[in-house]
Structure 1
Amino acid sequence: MGRYLLRRLLQLVPVFIGTTFMIYALVWAVPGDPFAGKCGDRRCPDQYIAFMTEKYHLDQNVFVQYANYMKNLLQGDFGQTFSQREISDIILTSYPNTLKLALVALSIEAVIGLGAGVLTGLRRNGFLDNLVLVSTLFLIALPVFVVGFVLQWLLGVQWGIIKPTVSSEMRLSELIVPGFVLGSASVAYIARVARTSIAENRRADYVRTAIAKGLPMRRVVGVHLLRNSLIPVVTLLGTDLGALMGGAIVTEGIFGINGIGRQVFRAIVTKESATVVGIVVVLVLVYLLMNLLVDLLYAALDPRIRYE
């Protein structure tokens, strides 16, 4: 296991360099004047443009720019915005809010999605199975912003059960509805994947043997069936954390959450390329580490998998 972990960590290095370079090159290749609107309605002075161009190495090729950026990044310096604000401060302020929202969404996915998948996988073609299939198809078909606006209007405005927007304290009770909105499509996918996996393994020889030995159905499902059916679900959940954090722009906008989604949107509108790159680099690290964690969980769930 130790050699496998070391090998996987070494494999992350070229992947990280390749993905961050691609992101850096694509973001800075976006056409347009990066200094447009930075000095109000008037054009920025030539001295200011020359100073900022030299500071951000915009007069050099993309390879030199990326090398300088990575050198500073390895020292913990994410750079500054054109307004001289530290990008690391923006990330430290907004990242915990998005992470908290994504973890709530991930928990809702695991509880509702996995629970619905197990129940329908054990009792296929019944009323509950058809209800879950129709409900998940409905969630997949609806865009996230539609689900968000409907729940915000219905629960927050009409019925007054929740606050229409999330406060700055980001209490857990306030994040349940936004978390469900953010993870609504993933709940549907996890329920369907879990249902298929449970139904397939339900007919396996080891399950029939466990039942024939007289083991309680709860033990058969919890120890034998569920454990071997969790691998595709864990894969979805593990890779979904980064996707939830990167795709929270709409949900954060609807519920007024100051997260990295809103920061990325603002940075794109104002052409703050350094901010976009800095936030996306953090998301790349989340993706890579979650993929590594998922691979390690495979061996814990299935004893047949061994990393030698």
Structure 2
Amino acid sequence: MVRYVLRRLLQLIPVFLGATFLIYALVWALPGDPFAGKCGQTACPQSFVDVMTAKFNLNDNIFVQYFKYLGNLFTGDFGETFSGNNIGQMIGDSYPITVRLALIAVAIEAIIGVTAGIITGLRGNPFLDNLVLVVTLVLIALPVFVTGIVLQLVLGGDGLGLINASVSADPTIGELIIPGFVLGSLSMAYIARLTKTNIAENRRSDFVRTAIAKGQPRRRVVGIHLLRNSVLPVLTFLGTDIGALMGGAIVTEGVFNINGIGGLIFRGVSEKDGATVTGIVVLLVIVYLMVSLIVDLLYAVLDPRIRYD
């Protein structure tokens, strides 16, 4: 196992370098004036252009720029925006909120989605099957912002008055439950259908019939044999979804006025602030790579047939 982990960590290095270089090149090597619109309606003075060009190493070729940026990144320096704001500080203020939101979304989609999939996959009740099918189709068909606005209207001040339309600047876990549900609603529908399909398929497998023939209790057959083997595709989906939720929370954070990483990405793109976009996306790449490694290691825990030599 240790050898496998070390090998995977070494494999992550070229993936990290390739992904981050591609991001950096796409942001900074695009044609056009990087200072357009940075000084309002008038063109930026030459003194400002010269200072910013030197600050962001824009006179160097793209490879030199990238490795200088990477060197600063390894020291914890994410750089500064064109307006002089520290990107690391901005990420430090916003990222914990988005992490909490994403983890709540993953927990909600895992608990509700897996539970719905298990119940419908085991019982085969036509009413439950049709109910889960209709609910998941509705969640898949509705855009996330529509789900968020509907819940705001129903549960907010003009409706039941259970939640505030906007969360506070430093939201608590309770304030993030509804936004987390909205953020994870689409994935929750996919997880419910994926779990149901795997449960229904593995019910007819030889290892389940053997466990039943040995007289093992139904709870052990379902929990140890059936569920552990059926949850592997769900675990893969959840692992990749964590990074996607943190990077794709722009709409949800906008609907509930959450000061998270999604707002930083949106402002960075709209203001053409390449330093901010690059720093955030590089951080998301690291999250993706580490989560994928953790998911691979969990395979061996859930399925004893998987061994890493």
Q: What TM-score, normalized by structure 2, do the two folds share?
A: 0.97
Deviation at 1:55, TM superposition (A): 1.3
Tell me if the contact between 2:97 and 2:170 (Cα under 8 Å) persists in the aligned partners.
Answer: no
Structure 2: which 5+ residue stretches go unaligned?
none
Moved more, 145-154 or 98-107: 145-154
Q: Which residue number corresponds to residue 257 of structure 2?
A: 256
Say yes or no: does 1:171 pair with 2:175: no
Deviation at 1:33, TM superposition (A): 3.0
CA distance in 1, matches of 2:141, 2:32: 36
Tell me if the contact between 1:166 and 1:256 (Cα under 8 Å) persists in the aligned partners.
Answer: yes
Structure 1: which 5+ residue stretches go unaligned?
none
Deviation at 1:31, TM superposition (A): 4.3
Q: After the TM superposition, which residues 184-195 of structure 1 pair with which residues of structure 2 at under 5 Å, given as runs?
A: 184-195=185-196
Tell me if the contact between 2:268 and 2:277 (Cα under 8 Å) persists in the aligned partners.
Answer: yes
Q: Which residue number corresponds to residue 64 of structure 1?
A: 64
Deviation at 1:32, TM superposition (A): 4.0
1:13 is paired with a residue whose SS is: helix
CA distance in 1, matches of 2:253, 2:31: 27
Tell me if the contact between 1:36 and 1:43 (Cα under 8 Å) persists in the aligned partners.
Answer: yes
Say yes or no: does 1:268 pair with 2:269: yes
Q: After the TM superposition, which residues 206-217 of structure 1 pair with which residues of structure 2 at under 5 Å, given as runs?
A: 206-217=207-218
2:231 is paired with a residue whose SS is: helix
Q: Deviations over 1:52-89 (max 9, x none)?
A: 11111112221111111111111111111111111100
CA distance in 2, matches of 1:188, 1:81: 39
Q: Write the letter of the residue equivalent to 1:88.
A: G
CA distance in 2, matches of 1:42, 1:237: 48
Point out 4+ residue stretches in structure 1 off by more than 4 angstroms: none
Q: Which residue number corresponds to residue 36 of structure 1?
A: 36
Q: Which residue number corresponds to residue 145 of structure 1?
A: 145
Q: Which residue number corresponds to residue 228 of structure 2?
A: 227
Deviation at 1:228, TM superposition (A): 1.1
Tell me if the contact between 1:166 and 1:174 (Cα under 8 Å) persists in the aligned partners.
Answer: yes
Q: Write the letter of the residue equivalent to 1:35.
A: F
C-alpha RMSD of the superposition? 1.2
CA distance in 1, matches of 2:210, 2:5: 35
Q: What TM-score, normalized by structure 1, do the two folds share?
A: 0.97
Q: Which residue number corresponds to residue 302 of structure 2?
A: 301
Q: Deviations over 1:188-219 (max 9, x none)?
A: 11111111111111111121122222222112
CA distance in 2, matches of 1:125, 1:108: 24
Number of residues of Structure 1 aligned to a counterpart in Structure 2 = 308
Q: After the TM superposition, which residues 1-308 of structure 1 pair with which residues of structure 2 at under 5 Å, given as runs?
A: 1-124=1-124, 126-156=126-156, 157-308=158-309
Moved more, 242-251 or 66-75: 66-75
Q: Write the letter of the residue equivalent to 2:286.
A: L
